[in-house]
Amino acid sequence: MKLHGYFRSSASYRVRIALNLKGLNAEHLPHHLRKGEQRDPAYLAINPQGLVPTLQDHGITITQSLAIIEWLEETHPEPPLLPKDPLRRAHVRAFAQVVACDTHPVQNLKVLTRLRELGVAKEKVTDWAAWANREGLAACEALLANETGPFCFGEAPGMADLCLVPQLANARRFGVELAGFPRLLKAEAAARNIKAFADAAPERQPDAE
């Protein structure tokens, strides 16, 4: 397997956690997003969006982090990242999509760069990113109100946790006060005790700066 990514990309971070939890090895191929390496023609031939992550495995190519994670779950089902019960699976997927579809995309590098290009002041750009994180995390906190944990949905880490942990890292980068999200912090603390999460952290990656 080859994983195209970037150490600070939270979408790549999700996939790194999933690979580690599944016990799968992948060659990490970094593309420096701030230097525009994701727009290199050779990479665009692999991923026309020019985004990370992209997973390649024995002639197949998969883009989009949740699609990659779902594929890993279907092809390497142990340990499971989704519960067996269909309703519980839907709840986990909904939580993951709050992060991956509604929170992360509106505060990622591409959007923030465009805001700067449109003349938005630096501090206002940071405010925007912090607002997006607070809104998304508040929804996530509410979704876990009746979940006892210690992880997001039960006693083992799953898809929700591997989306949550990178997003909390983003929130901290943008100066978001997290004390108001105790249930999310509880799940994060449980995840941080697992080697698969620790080894996937941005600062542990070979391209970390």
Q: What is the pLDDT along the chain (209 residues), one digit of tens a residue?
A: 999 999 999 999 999 999 999 999 999 999 999 999 999 999 999 999 999 999 999 999 999 999 999 999 999 999 999 999 999 999 999 999 999 999 999 999 999 999 999 999 999 999 999 999 999 999 999 999 999 999 999 999 999 999 999 999 999 999 999 999 999 999 999 999 999 999 999 999 999 99
Residue range of the domain that includes 103: 86-197
Same-domain pairing of 69 and 108: no
Count of domains forming the chain: 2
Stated pTM of the model: 0.96
Same-domain pairing of 175 and 92: yes
138 occurs within a structural domain: yes
Same-domain pairing of 75 and 91: no
CATH of the domain at 69: 3.40.30.10
Domain boundary residue among 79, 108, 135? 79
SS3 for 14? helix
d(C-alpha 112, C-alpha 106), whole Å: 8
d(C-alpha 166, C-alpha 171), whole Å: 9
207 occurs within a structural domain: no
Residue count of the chain, please give it. 209
Nearest to 89 by CA among 159, 16, 163: 159
* Count of alpha carbons within 13 angstroms of residue 180, beta-carbon side: 12
CATH of the domain at 122: 1.20.1050.10
